[in-house]
Structure 1
Amino acid sequence: MRITLASFLAIIALAWGWEILSPGHQAVGSLAWTVYHEGLILTGLWSICLMSLAMILATRPAWLERPLGGMDQIYRLHKWSGILAVGFAAAHWLLEMADDVAETLAGGAGHVDGDELSAFAEPLRDLGEDLGEWVIYVLFALLLITLWKQFSYRLWRPLHRAMPVLYLLVVFHAVVLAPAGYWNQPIGLLLTVLFAGGSVASVLSLTGRIGRKRKVGGSIVSVRNPTPDVVEVQCRLDKQWRGHRSGQFAFVTFDIGEGAHPFTIASADNGDRTVTFDIKALGDYTRQLSRHLSPGSPVQVEGPYGRFDYHRANRRARQIWIAAGIGITPFLAWLESLQGDRATAVAADLHYCVRDRTADPFVERLEALCAGLPEVRLHVHDKQSGRLTAEALATESADAKRAEVWFCGPRGLGEALRGGLHQAWPGNRVRFHQEAFEMR
């Protein structure tokens, strides 16, 4: 993700620099004033281009899953594009507010007001400038609410849905204030493509058409509670369902007012259009879910998405599968799928981290599934047996030349194991797959 964002920002900077070096570039005054003005322009360009990227990624473009590593990584890129966009917008705003100070330090004689370089009339420029200032205040507030995890998702969701409107206002601000010379330069072409893509994405979002081609209706077949904090929902979907690969997830809507939530599909594709979701009570919505669901109730599923797929495993590497808590769901689907697909059976060590194996709802099911797969060795870790550590994994696989880890569970545990394994196995001997399942 860092490389993708850095490359994106570099492309924008190169296009901006190309325009500066072009023969038709209009100077705005002294060198000091030019540095200030171009800094103001560049921070604005980075901000609006990142906003455009975030809007395009919000449409859940499935064709980008392969190059970017899955829909979870697309959402992660969407999230950080938005955060950085607001950050650069803040820098742009601070530079704009420092206009008088810059004029004092750089000298006002002979400098040209950047607004006058625009191809639009003064009333439109004034409107664009005013809108841009008010939008940045709203964006600051929305970013703080988004980062405040305790803020109710039910309240956050309608606020976040206002982002397309704010984006279109920022596009207007950028278009009417951009220098006229930009539009016959590479930077103009880049902005045109991004603005067009972001605007189309905004319309799709505002009209509720995101993911429409991948949405399928269905009904709930059964609802049960393996434990008080886990609800298992089995659904039968309509004929339009394309099927899924084990380990994928979908956006599931049980309540139109609540909207869609991402849940891993915890069952293999048996060709009968049934999918199972094991949902842990992690918030207000999921805690109350079992009380509102019943057999026969309608459900809408959008997907499938994701590339957490054992078919992508490197057969030459030692396979280490690690799950913690509800993170076991993709591995349940894997194990179910392997029961009838022995030709692609994978030799692996499956480590399952729980608080108490005697009270866990999945241990017995895992043992039964692994009994039919001698290639998969199950290890259950709880308080009595001790925590799973990177050092223990490295010792267990010391004879392996390379290892591939597939992890699904709390982010903190995943990062600790990733860092520990890279220290224990220096170099490129460990490849670590971890789903970034934070959609907010």
Structure 2
Amino acid sequence: MVKVVLAFVAVALGLAWGLDVLQAPPLAPESPVHPLWLARQEAMYLSGLLSIGLMSLAMYLATRPAWLETPLGGMDRVYRTHKWAGILGGSFAIMHWLVEMSDDILKSTIGRAGRLPKEKATGLLDSMQDLAEDFGEWGFYILLVLLAITLWQRFPYRPWRFLHRAMPVIYLLLAFHAALLSPLDYWLQPVGWLLGLLIAAGVYGALRALLGNIGQARRSTGEILAVTQPAADIVAVRCRLTGSWPGHRPGQFALVTFDADEGAHPFTIASADQGDRTIEFRIKALGDHTRQLAGLLQVGQSVDIEGPYGRFDIARINRRARQLWVAGGIGVTPFLAWLGSLQGKAANLPEADLHYCTRDRDNDPFVDELTRLCAALPAIRLHVHGAQQGEKLDAARLLKDVPAGQAAEVWFCGPGGLAQALRGGLDKLGWRRLRFHQEAFVMR
């Protein structure tokens, strides 16, 4: 779905640009305009449209519009679309700049003769266009730096997050550049209407980001009730939230802020909703921030939570398909919420095989808990795979008890490497009637 959305926006902009080109009167045989100069100009327009259009989409999606969760398949897909729209928009900005710089090459090869005359503006508009050119140049160079450090995965997250806050300002500079320097006849055609709509959405997102009210309607405050460490690298945090908490569905996640300077991080809610506004998180030490939580968090400390978000929801399972649930490491958290929500509902249980993959099954803190939860749910068959015990899960083992030709559904939460290995193995086995559900929490 992410690729579909990005392709749709890019194709729509390309078609609108193409319609404008087709409607332009053909050059007369005696026209002094050289085709290469004309091609350069249209390449500048197209690359600029794609750049600002995709960046506008990224800026709007940064507002975390909950209404898009259903069509895109979850807030993680919304975020992934935001991420790739920004990267692609920045890439087209580089292309736009390269086309702009190509004028020196054309001057040295075909000469200045045959250049298209520039649109003449007077008075205030002329001054604003000069300013727009400067804004575009400054914005591009800053954007180039931010794009480079975003793609450089070794750049630390915390300073990246701080620098990323400048993106709304950079976007406004580039949007001003695009709006003022687009051909005037664009605004009377579909290409201008589409561009205006996208810029309006992007400006809306940029202003909300600068005002700091993104997600405000879904924010709740609370306090920490308990902090425990079931394992050396895992901290369990139980919180009670205020009355504004709307409740959550099993498998959803929230953006949690323990430290305002650190900002929000996505964590899956590991507990079922009991109606008492109490939720629990199981957090694995995967970075600088999460490694410090056990020593920083205290009972009674305030916490800010935004959400809930996500479509990794047990209510969305297809009961007509064979259910294969796969948890890898800390990816067990949504399934803990699923199993908790099923307790006492033995009459309406879905049949499922839950595969839990861990490094060492004998010393894993979740094995006993999963065993206890599944013991009360006879329709849920638990399979624990310990890597140190030589019990690694692969596609063949996952499908071992599934009859050939039966529709199956995989719900996966865990390391990306395990997901890729299982997907590749399933493809090789040629299992066609199978759906693979996976949420992505890559913040960069």
- Which TM-score tier does this pair reach, normalised by the shorter chain? over 0.9
Q: Percent identity?
A: 55
Deviation at 1:104, TM superposition (A): 4.3
The answer on whether the counterparts of 1:402 and 1:429 sit within 8 Å (CA) in structure 2 is yes
Tell me which amino acid in the other structure corresponds to 2:237.
V
Deviation at 1:85, TM superposition (A): 0.7
Question: Match for 1:333 among 313, 330, 337?
Answer: 337
Question: Match for 2:391 among 369, 372, 386?
Answer: 386
The answer on whether the counterparts of 1:47 and 1:85 sit within 8 Å (CA) in structure 2 is yes
The answer on whether the counterparts of 1:251 and 1:301 sit within 8 Å (CA) in structure 2 is yes
Check 1:28–1:167 CA distance in 2 against 1; reply closer, same or farther (3 A cut): farther
What TM-score, normalized to structure 2? 0.95
Tell me how far apart the structure 2 counterparts of residues 175 and 380 of structure 1 sit (CA, whole Å). 58
The answer on whether the counterparts of 1:72 and 1:439 sit within 8 Å (CA) in structure 2 is no
Measured against aligned partners, the alpha-carbon deviations of 1:189-222 in whole angstroms (never above 9, x if no partner) come to 1111111111111111011100000000111010
Tell me how far apart the structure 1 counterparts of residues 120 and 353 of structure 2 sit (CA, whole Å). 66
1:349 matched to 2:353: yes
Deviation at 1:133, TM superposition (A): 1.7
Structure 1 unmatched runs, 5+? none
Tell me how far apart the structure 2 counterparts of residues 136 and 69 of structure 1 sit (CA, whole Å). 32
Tell me which amino acid in the other structure corresponds to 1:299.
V
1:293 matched to 2:294: no
Which segment drifts farther, 394-403 or 32-41? 394-403
Deviation at 1:126, TM superposition (A): 2.3
Deviation at 1:120, TM superposition (A): 7.0
Deviation at 1:135, TM superposition (A): 1.5
Tell me which amino acid in the other structure corresponds to 2:420.
E
Q: Name the SS for the 2:235 alignment partner.
A: strand
1:157 matched to 2:161: yes
Deviation at 1:171, TM superposition (A): 0.5
- The number of residue pairs the alignment matches comes to 439
Tell me which amino acid in the other structure corresponds to 1:423.
K
Tell me how far apart the structure 2 counterparts of residues 118 and 313 of structure 1 sit (CA, whole Å). 62
Deviation at 1:23, TM superposition (A): 5.2
Question: Match for 1:190 among 189, 194, 206?
Answer: 194
Deviation at 1:437, TM superposition (A): 1.2
Match of 1:429 in 2: 433
Tell me how far apart the structure 1 counterparts of residues 20 and 421 of structure 2 sit (CA, whole Å). 45
Tell me which amino acid in the other structure corresponds to 1:410.
P
Tell me which amino acid in the other structure corresponds to 2:179.
V
Measured against aligned partners, the alpha-carbon deviations of 1:261-317 in whole angstroms (never above 9, x if no partner) come to 110000000000001000000111111111111111101110000000121111111
Question: Match for 1:173 among 177, 189, 193?
Answer: 177
Match of 2:421 in 1: 416
Match of 1:76 in 2: 80
Tell me how far apart the structure 2 counterparts of residues 344 and 226 of structure 1 sit (CA, whole Å). 31
Q: Name the SS for the 2:363 alignment partner.
A: coil
Question: Match for 1:91 among 92, 95, 102?
Answer: 95
The answer on whether the counterparts of 1:37 and 1:114 sit within 8 Å (CA) in structure 2 is no
Check 1:164–1:77 CA distance in 2 against 1; reply closer, same or farther (3 A cut): same
Tell me how far apart the structure 1 counterparts of residues 13 and 224 of structure 2 sit (CA, whole Å). 48
Which segment drifts farther, 112-121 or 61-70? 112-121
Q: CA RMSD, aligned part only?
A: 1.9
Match of 2:254 in 1: 250
The answer on whether the counterparts of 2:37 and 2:114 sit within 8 Å (CA) in structure 1 is no
Which residues in structure 2 correspond to 1:91-110 (within 5 Å)?
Answer: 91-105=95-109, 108-110=112-114
Tell me how far apart the structure 2 counterparts of residues 229 and 114 of structure 1 sit (CA, whole Å). 63
Deviation at 1:106, TM superposition (A): 5.1
Which residues in structure 2 correspond to 1:19-418 (within 5 Å)?
Answer: 19-22=20-23, 29-105=33-109, 108-114=112-118, 116=120, 121-382=125-386, 383-418=388-423
The answer on whether the counterparts of 2:223 and 2:303 sit within 8 Å (CA) in structure 1 is yes
Tell me how far apart the structure 2 counterparts of residues 239 and 50 of structure 1 sit (CA, whole Å). 38
Match of 2:14 in 1: 13
Deviation at 1:48, TM superposition (A): 0.5
Tell me how far apart the structure 2 counterparts of residues 156 and 436 of structure 1 sit (CA, whole Å). 19
Structure 2 unmatched runs, 5+? none
Tell me how far apart the structure 1 counterparts of residues 410 and 142 of structure 2 sit (CA, whole Å). 42
Tell me which amino acid in the other structure corresponds to 1:395.
K
Measured against aligned partners, the alpha-carbon deviations of 1:368-405 in whole angstroms (never above 9, x if no partner) come to 00001111100000121421011222333243522110
What TM-score, normalized to structure 1? 0.96
Deviation at 1:3, TM superposition (A): 1.9
The answer on whether the counterparts of 1:321 and 1:405 sit within 8 Å (CA) in structure 2 is yes
The answer on whether the counterparts of 2:54 and 2:86 sit within 8 Å (CA) in structure 1 is yes
